[in-house]
């Protein structure tokens, strides 16, 4: 037995790499040796799947006739990755690949261990009849789900890698037949231009893709529902997915997209229309009711019929501050309640709402700190803001409410209407990747071709 | 590393927002509990000085809890002044709250005031843009103040009995004339029609209100009081009010018909450019409400005729009564004016001709049935 | 015809009700308003027809570009400035009239400056938007507010208190010579199409303009003008109609919604027309701003790569309207609108002549 056979020389590349990665405890450089045949493995113990490594890399080595056979076996592995350059190798190792050296050849095999590939239940956008499964935190599982649901050969998936420290994969998914090329190009460009150090979730990615620092309304939609993704793919939109996040991004979106629940596709026409009307009513209520209260009580009490005006006046007897403070005060407490019930563990949040909502509300009216009508308004506003199917939009509307409130407080009823028109105008002037954010969509869009987009 | 947003900026914006809210709110900002709603205005002639007015404002006070409150909560402000505007200005100093006229639903005017200088106070109500043009106008017998002060025991916390009389809000009856402020102004100022106001009276114990008479008002002449019966005809002819009931008699048969629907058409017959007569067609549909005898369904046609005859006589009676006083509450003059191109002399010609014009009334009653029994 | 063109036309038609048009017409109700209205409907429809046909020859171009390219400077600039003045005045009159009536009927306690400021604040943001957004804004406001206005119209016409005898009496005044001022005021209803001066840039397709379109415009114009003029008479009588400062607002106070949450229709009326007034103001001032920008191109005034000129213009617009709402009396406003409406025939003539000139020169 020659020396070399007993102690086969480790390839220099591997030694260097190990050096480079020290002092991490999990860097493993192990030789495989059976008689004359030698192979070396370099991997990170914490990143790879041990079982997989054992079964597809190590075990075959001892079953093969020769290292040559083994090399051929490795080369035909479906998980084989191309080695673009030597600098690239450490990155791939950290992602969960194993570097194999057989007969002076190097191979990278992906044996990453993913603990996050379980598909979750839908939490954010639950439906009664639709699919109950959401996405997982693993991008491959997610892509698998999409492929499984949208079996069109025109479905294209491009993978880009983020330049930040997570080096997460971003998948750009679109249906080649329906997607607008200009929008696709803008999105690809924006992603390539991303210049941030850490992007961990789809929500974060959305903020950076926006292109503006101060934005109030989301120009990309965050969703966890595979059926919504397929629905939007069919409509020609681009889906973005980032590894490690159970949400996908949809771009471009228009305002009305945020008012659609997937449930709408699973119900009868009139039922759907009814819920849709209900939702818009909720939107308007949640946006305008607090401002309307100020306008009615403090500027134009003569608008409502006498009986109602007297009832409102009666309920405000003894409230020691002007109406807008009352509104602001109650709204802020309502927001605190909502915020608290989101952040708290589920078991406690029910208590928080009960204590806050019921006890505080009753006590506040008993103590004449707010009027009864105010409590009704605040609860109506709170309920109706949950009617908006997509949470992001609901947050934006919640914010708009305060703008409208301020406008009304400054300028009275005229401010109320003007503020409302102003918000409309803001939405209309907004764009999501070149698409107007809010406009009327009529059934036949062909007639709109006459209008040139600027 | 780019920050998504700088926190301090947001805080500054929020602080500016709140300070702006506190500083800027104020112009025109007045909370509802600092206002008091004037729901009724009463005008009487002044007692102390000649030509002045006594103004009564009825204020509705809000109640903290409507369910537990027992009755209405009103306050009255009374002041005499030379003009309406002056008196109301003074009354503003009689309460700590701002007077809100936007909810004024009723304007009660003493009937003595309804002959001269009506334009004087009408001007005030129309010019004041916050008083509704859809406020009801009513004439008051004896005094407007006493009418406003009546608080019937059936009244509930946030409603006003007097208002519910009018406009089929609560009670519906052809005896009640309802006149909006704009209507009163329009009819009073237009040539060819005279305004009609409901006349409100109070019972002797000042507990209940009675509204079943009306007043035909014409500038520079004493208002003519329509009896309850005449008011009924006026309302039926002009507004087609339902609930009209009429007693018809023939030989020993007496029955009462309840009219459900009345349609009225009238025109001025012209001959040679001059009005010669007024033709009026009345169609009524109804059922028999009460009878002293058994009625046969196959005799309905006959009852129709009996009823038509009787109604026709009554209507002609009503029309000639007002004609004798040279009053025109229905607006025949207007109809006449629509029939020819504009000319300066149209109105004076009509005014000359109207008192002698004969009426040609035809009534067509169609009875649907005899009620639940024959 | 693109639906946006109809929006331009109908918005201006409807917005006449809160401008001074009804006041002027009713003022002349006994001296020839009716014949002038008939004349205005015919001539206005013809103007619209000619303008659309003329603009059809230049798809995707706006008037300032056309004038600058094909006419000498001494011709282009004065014409542009005149057009700017007209549009600015149109917007200004709408704004001031609306603010006046709002203050009178809605909140007499609020200061006029604050109310105007609220308008100026939102409008300034609005007119700086992209032209395309204007179209969408107009559409959405129409979708939101026009149903309310239709509802009100039904209320106005279905009310038994509307006395047709008065309307017929006023129709009997047809035997008069048309009055110029009433003609100008009625012509205002048809001025909306002139927004094409700027917005033509967005329309790359030719507009179809046949007898069908002419009929729609003519009939709508007639209906709107009829409503503008006769409904206030039906509610307020013939004799004293001219006394009312805001005839239409007073008329809207004559309707009562017995079962409505809001009993007085006047509030719904004022708020619904606030939307209409707003968009009409938005369109007018946007056109005015764009024309002004084309006249004065301050290319040097830049800050962070943005042209500052539009912002300065908008601030100027705001200051002028704030000052004027404070200074103007109701009578001055009335005569200002009267003169403005009176100048509309000239306005149409200038517009058509300049378009014809451009067309001829371009063909050379």
CB A243 within 8 A of CB A144: no
Average pLDDT over residues A350-373: 80
CB contact under 8 Å between B132 and C165, yes or no, is no
Which strand (E) or helix (H) includes residue C125? helix C112-127
Q: Which of B136, B238, B223 is nearest to B179 (CA)?
A: B136
Residues A27 and A64 in one domain: yes
State how far the Cα of B226 lies from the Cα of B215, in Å rounded to an integer. Answer: 6
Pick the most confident of A235-249, B53-67, B280-294, C78-92. Answer: C78-92
pLDDT in tens, A135-191: 888 888 888 888 888 888 888 888 888 777 778 888 899 888 888 888 888 888 888
CB contact under 8 Å between A306 and B39, yes or no, is yes
DSSP output for B66-109? TTT--S--EEEEEEEESSHHHHHHHHGGGSSSEEEGGG--EEEE
Residues A249 and A272 in one domain: no
Is 70 exceeded by the pLDDT of residue B290?
yes
pLDDT in tens, B346-357: 888 888 888 888
Least confidently predicted of A310-319, B259-268, B364-373, C322-331: B364-373
Number of Cβ within a 10 Å radius of residue A179: 19
CB contact under 8 Å between B158 and A324, yes or no, is no
State how far the Cα of C163 lies from the Cα of B108, in Å rounded to an integer. Answer: 25
- Residue C346: the pLDDT is 92
Containing domain of residue A348, as a range? 267-436
pLDDT band at B268 (very low <50, low <70, confident <90, very high): confident
Q: Could you tell me if residue A453 is inside a domain? A: no
Is 70 exceeded by the pLDDT of residue A453?
no
Is 80 exceeded by the pLDDT of residue A211?
no
pLDDT band at A4 (very low <50, low <70, confident <90, very high): very low
Is 80 exceeded by the pLDDT of residue B289?
no
Q: What is the CATH number of the domain that holds C229?
A: 1.20.1740
CB contact under 8 Å between A429 and C122, yes or no, is no
- Residue C183: the pLDDT is 92
CB A231 within 8 A of CB A95: no
Q: Could you tell me if residue A258 is inside a domain? A: no
To the nearest whole Å, the CA of B111 is away from the closest chain A CA by 27
CB contact under 8 Å between A303 and C267, yes or no, is yes
β partners of residue B280 = B266, B361
State how far the Cα of A88 lies from the Cα of A167, in Å rounded to an integer. Answer: 12
Q: Could you tell me if residue A123 is inside a domain? A: no
- Residue A442: the pLDDT is 67
Q: Which of C107, C165, C235 sits opposite B334 (nearest CB)?
A: C165
Mean pLDDT of chain C: 88
Number of Cβ within a 10 Å radius of residue A342: 9
Least confidently predicted of A394-408, B236-250, C68-82: B236-250
Chain C: touching chains (3 or more CB pairs < 8 Å): A, B
Residues A402 and A351 in one domain: yes
CB contact under 8 Å between C133 and A436, yes or no, is yes
Q: Could you tell me if residue A229 is inside a domain? A: yes
What residues in A contact C126, CB-CB < 8 Å?
422, 425
Q: Could you tell me if residue A101 is inside a domain? A: yes
- For residue B130, what is the nearest residue in chain A, using CA coordinates? A302
- Residue A447: the pLDDT is 37
pLDDT band at C284 (very low <50, low <70, confident <90, very high): very high
Average pLDDT over residues A202-215: 79
- For residue B38, what is the nearest residue in chain A, using CA coordinates? A306
Average pLDDT over residues C99-127: 87
Average pLDDT over residues A367-375: 85
- Residue C345: the pLDDT is 92
- For residue B23, what is the nearest residue in chain A, using CA coordinates? A410
Q: Which of C324, C296, C332, C328 is nearest to C312 (CA)?
A: C296
The count of structural domains within chain C is: 1
CB B350 within 8 A of CB B337: yes
CB contact under 8 Å between B33 and A319, yes or no, is yes
Rg, chain A, Cα only: 30
What residues in C contact B27, CB-CB < 8 Å?
109-111, 114
pLDDT band at B297 (very low <50, low <70, confident <90, very high): confident
Interfacial residues of C (vs B; Cβ cutoff 8 Å):
30, 104-105, 107-111, 114, 160-161, 163, 165-166, 168-169, 171-175, 235-240, 250, 253-256, 258, 264, 266
Is 90 exceeded by the pLDDT of residue B208?
no
pLDDT in tens, A142-158: 888 888 888 888 888 88
Is 90 exceeded by the pLDDT of residue A11?
no
Spans of all domains in chain B: 30-226, 237-374
pLDDT band at A423 (very low <50, low <70, confident <90, very high): very high
Is 70 exceeded by the pLDDT of residue A8?
no
What residues in B contact A312, CB-CB < 8 Å?
32
Is 80 exceeded by the pLDDT of residue C275?
yes
Percent of chain B at pLDDT exceeding 70: 86
The count of structural domains within chain A is: 3
- For residue B29, what is the nearest residue in chain C, using CA coordinates? C110
Burial of C166 (0-12, 13-18, 19+ CB in 10 A): buried
DSSP output for B179-221? -BHHHHHHHHHSTT--EEEEEEEE-TTSS-EEEEEEEEE-TTS
CB B131 within 8 A of CB B101: yes
CB A408 within 8 A of CB A419: yes
B21 touches chain C (CB under 8 A): no
- Residue B27: the pLDDT is 59
Is 80 exceeded by the pLDDT of residue B292?
no
- Residue B71: the pLDDT is 62
- Residue A141: the pLDDT is 85
Residues A294 and A229 in one domain: no
Is 50 exceeded by the pLDDT of residue B4?
no
- Residue B170: the pLDDT is 60
To the nearest whole Å, the CA of C20 is away from the closest chain B CA by 18
- Residue C44: the pLDDT is 92
Q: Which of A301, A314, A324 sits opposite B25 (nearest CB)?
A: A324
Q: Look up the ipTM and state it.
A: 0.91
Is 90 exceeded by the pLDDT of residue C3?
no
Higher pLDDT, C137 or B252: C137
Q: Which of C126, C98, C106 is nearest to C16 (CA)?
A: C98
- For residue C162, what is the nearest residue in chain B, using CA coordinates? B183
State how far the Cα of C208 lies from the Cα of C193, in Å rounded to an integer. Answer: 14
Q: Could you tell me if residue A307 is inside a domain? A: yes
pLDDT band at A2 (very low <50, low <70, confident <90, very high): very low
Q: Could you tell me if residue A410 is inside a domain? A: yes
Q: Which of C165, C316, A2 is nearest to B192 (CA)?
A: C165
CB contact under 8 Å between B65 and A314, yes or no, is yes
pLDDT band at A197 (very low <50, low <70, confident <90, very high): confident
CB contact under 8 Å between C258 and B27, yes or no, is no
| CA torsion through residues B129, B135, B137, B143, sign | negative
CB contact under 8 Å between A415 and C118, yes or no, is yes
B128 touches chain C (CB under 8 A): no
Q: Could you tell me if residue A392 is inside a domain? A: yes
On the CB side of B205, CA atoms within 13 Å amount to 4
Residues A154 and A199 in one domain: yes
Q: Which of A196, A306, A323 sits opposite B31 (nearest CB)?
A: A323
Average pLDDT over residues B310-314: 86
Containing domain of residue C265, as a range? 3-363
pLDDT in tens, B117-128: 777 778 888 888
- Residue A283: the pLDDT is 92
Name the B residues in 29-58 with CB < 8 Å from any C CB.
30
Higher pLDDT, A353 or A292: A292
Is 70 exceeded by the pLDDT of residue A437?
yes
Q: Which of B126, B190, B239 sits opposite C237 (nearest CB)?
A: B190
Is 50 exceeded by the pLDDT of residue A195?
yes
Is 80 exceeded by the pLDDT of residue B160?
no
Q: How many helices (H) and strands (E) does chain A have?
A: 18, 12
Higher pLDDT, C241 or B7: C241
| CA torsion through residues C213, C19, A415, B6, sign | positive
- Residue B2: the pLDDT is 43
Fold of the B237-374 domain: GMP Synthetase; Chain A, domain 3 (3.30.300)
Residues A339 and A229 in one domain: no
- Residue B156: the pLDDT is 62
Q: Which of B27, B239, B338 sits opposite C169 (nearest CB)?
A: B338
pLDDT band at C343 (very low <50, low <70, confident <90, very high): very high
pLDDT band at B23 (very low <50, low <70, confident <90, very high): low
pLDDT in tens, A79-112: 888 777 777 788 888 888 888 888 778 888 888 7
CB contact under 8 Å between A303 and C110, yes or no, is no
State how far the Cα of C26 lies from the Cα of B55, in Å rounded to an integer. Answer: 34
Is 80 exceeded by the pLDDT of residue A446?
no
pLDDT band at C151 (very low <50, low <70, confident <90, very high): very high
Is 80 exceeded by the pLDDT of residue B24?
no
Residues A76 and A161 in one domain: no
């Amino acid at each position: 037995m020659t020396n070399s056979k007993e102690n086969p020389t480790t390839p220099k590349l591997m030694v260097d790499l190990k050096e480079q990665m020290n002092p991490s405890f999990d860097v493993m450089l192990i030789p495989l040796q059976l008689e004359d045949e030698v192979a070396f493995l370099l991997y990170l113990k914490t990143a790879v799947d041990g079982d997989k490594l054992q079964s597809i890399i190590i075990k075959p080595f001892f079953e093969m006739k020769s290292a040559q056979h083994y090399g051929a076996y490795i080369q035909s592995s479906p998980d084989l990755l191309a080695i673009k350059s030597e600098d690239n190798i450490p990155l791939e190792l950290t992602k969960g690949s194993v570097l194999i050296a057989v007969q002076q050849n190097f191979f990278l095999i992906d044996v990453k261990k993913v603990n996050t590939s379980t598909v979750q239940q839908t939490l954010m956008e639950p439906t009664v009849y639709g699919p109950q499964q959401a996405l997982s935190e693993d991008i491959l599982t997610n892509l698998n789900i999409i492929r499984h649901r949208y079996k069109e050969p025109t479905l294209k998936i491009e993978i880009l890698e983020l330049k930040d420290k997570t080096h997460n994969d971003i998948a750009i998914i679109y249906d080649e037949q329906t997607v607008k090329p200009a929008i696709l190009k803008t999105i690809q460009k924006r992603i390539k231009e991303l210049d941030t150090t850490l992007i961990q979730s789809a929500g974060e990615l959305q903020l950076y893709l926006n292109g503006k620092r101060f934005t109030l309304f989301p120009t990309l939609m965050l969703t966890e529902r595979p059926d919504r993704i397929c629905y939007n793919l069919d409509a020609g939109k681009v889906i973005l997915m980032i590894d490690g996040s159970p949400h996908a991004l949809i771009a471009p979106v228009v305002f009305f997209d945020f008012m659609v629940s997937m449930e709408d596709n699973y119900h009868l026409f009139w039922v759907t229309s009814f819920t849709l009307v209900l939702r818009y009513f909720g939107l308007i209520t949640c946006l305008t009711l607090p401002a309307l209260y100020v306008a009615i009580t403090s500027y134009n009490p003569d608008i409502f019929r006498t009986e109602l005006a007297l009832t409102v006046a009666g309920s405000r007897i003894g409230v020691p501050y002007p109406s807008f403070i009352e509104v602001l005060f109650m709204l802020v407490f309502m927001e605190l309640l909502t915020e608290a019930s989101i952040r708290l563990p589920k078991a406690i949040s029910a208590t928080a709402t009960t204590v806050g909502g019921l006890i505080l509300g009753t006590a506040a009216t008993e103590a004449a700190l707010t009027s009864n009508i105010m409590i009704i308004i605040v609860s109506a506003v709170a309920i109706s803001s949950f009617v908006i199917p997509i949470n992001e939009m609901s947050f934006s509307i919640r914010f708009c409410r305060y703008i409208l409130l301020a406008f009304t407080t400054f300028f009275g009823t005229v401010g109320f209407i003007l503020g409302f028109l102003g918000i409309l105008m803001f939405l209309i002037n907004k764009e999501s990747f070149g698409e107007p954010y809010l406009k009327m969509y009529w059934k036949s869009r062909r007639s709109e071709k006459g209008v040139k987009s600027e | 590393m780019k920050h998504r947003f700088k926190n301090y900026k947001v805080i500054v914006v929020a602080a500016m927002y709140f300070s702006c809210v506190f500083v800027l709110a104020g112009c025109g900002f007045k909370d509802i509990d600092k206002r008091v709603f004037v729901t009724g205005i009463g005008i009487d002639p002044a007692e102390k000085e000649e030509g002045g007015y006594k103004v009564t404002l009825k204020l509705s006070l809000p109640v903290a809890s409507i369910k537990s409150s027992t009755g209405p909560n009103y306050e009255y402000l009374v002041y005499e002044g030379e003009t309406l505007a002056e008196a109301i200005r003074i009354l503003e100093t009689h309460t700590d709250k701002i007077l809100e006229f936007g909810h004024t639903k009723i304007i009660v005017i003493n009937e003595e005031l309804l002959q001269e200088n009506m334009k004087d106070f009408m001007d005030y109500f129309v010019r004041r843009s916050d008083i509704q043009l859809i406020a009801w106008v009513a004439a008051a017998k004896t005094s407007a103040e006493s009418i406003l002060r009546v608080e019937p025991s059936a009244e509930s916390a946030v409603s006003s009995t007097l208002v519910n009389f009018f406009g089929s809000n609560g009670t519906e009856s052809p005896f009640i004339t309802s006149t909006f402020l704009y209507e009163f102004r329009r009819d009073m100022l237009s040539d060819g029609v005279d305004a009609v106001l409901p006349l409100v009276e109070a019972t002797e114990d000042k507990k209940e209100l009675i509204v079943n008479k009306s007043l035909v008002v014409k500038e520079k002449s004493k208002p003519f009081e329509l009896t309850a019966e005449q008011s009924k005809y006026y309302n039926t002819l002009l507004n087609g009010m339902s609930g009209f009931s009429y007693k018809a008699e023939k030989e020993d048969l007496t029955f009462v018909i309840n009219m459900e629907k009345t349609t009225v058409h009238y025109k001025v017959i012209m001959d040679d450019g001059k009005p010669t007569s007024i033709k009026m067609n009345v169609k009524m549909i109804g059922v028999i409400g009460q009878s002293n005898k058994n009625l046969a369904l196959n005799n309905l046609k006959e009852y129709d005729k009996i009823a038509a005859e009787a109604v026709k006589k009554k209507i002609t009676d009503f029309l000639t009564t007002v004609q004798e006083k040279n009053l025109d509450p229905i607006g025949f003059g207007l109809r006449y004016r629509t029939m020819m191109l504009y000319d300066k002399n149209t109105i004076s010609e009509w005014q000359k001709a109207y008192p002698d014009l004969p009426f040609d009334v035809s009534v067509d009653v169609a009875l649907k049935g005899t009620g639940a029994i024959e | 015809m693109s639906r946006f063109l109809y929006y331009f036309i109908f918005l201006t038609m409807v917005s006449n009700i809160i401008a001074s048009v009804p006041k002027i017409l009713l003022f002349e109700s006994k001296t020839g308003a009716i014949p002038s209205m008939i004349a205005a409907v015919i001539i206005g429809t013809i103007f619209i027809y000619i303008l659309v046909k003329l603009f059809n020859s230049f798809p995707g171009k706006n008037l300032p570009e056309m004038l600058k390219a094909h006419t000498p400077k001494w011709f282009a600039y004065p014409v542009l400035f005149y057009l700017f003045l007209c549009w600015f005045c149109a917007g200004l009159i709408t704004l001031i009239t609306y603010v006046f009536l709002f203050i009178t009927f809605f909140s007499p306690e609020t200061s006029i400056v604050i109310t105007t400021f609220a308008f100026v604040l939102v409008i300034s943001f609005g007119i700086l938007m992209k032209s395309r957004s204007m179209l969408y804004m107009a559409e959405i406001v129409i979708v939101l507010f026009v149903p309310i206005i239709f509802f009100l119209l039904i209320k106005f016409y279905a009310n038994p208190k509307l006395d047709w005898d008065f309307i017929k009496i006023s129709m009997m005044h047809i035997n008069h010579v048309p009055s110029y001022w009433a003609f100008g005021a009625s012509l205002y209803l048809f001025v909306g199409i002139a927004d094409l001066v700027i917005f033509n840039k967005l329309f790359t397709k030719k507009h179809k303009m046949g007898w069908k379109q002419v009929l729609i415009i003519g009939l709508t114009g007639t209906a709107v003008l009829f409503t503008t003029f006769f409904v206030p008479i039906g509610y307020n009588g013939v004799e004293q109609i001219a006394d009312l400062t805001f005839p239409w607002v007073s008329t809207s106070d004559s309707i009562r919604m017995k079962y409505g949450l809001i009993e007085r229709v006047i509030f719904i009326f004022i708020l619904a027309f606030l939307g209409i007034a707003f968009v009409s103001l938005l369109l007018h001032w946007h056109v005015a701003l764009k024309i002004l920008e084309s006249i004065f191109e301050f290319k040097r005034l830049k800050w962070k790569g943005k042209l500052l000129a539009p912002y300065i213009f908008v601030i100027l617009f705001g200051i002028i309207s704030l000052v004027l709402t404070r200074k103007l009396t109701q009578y001055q406003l009335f005569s200002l609108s009267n003169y403005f409406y009176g100048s509309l025939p000239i306005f149409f003539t200038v517009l058509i002549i300049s378009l014809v000139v451009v067309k001829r020169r371009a063909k050379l």
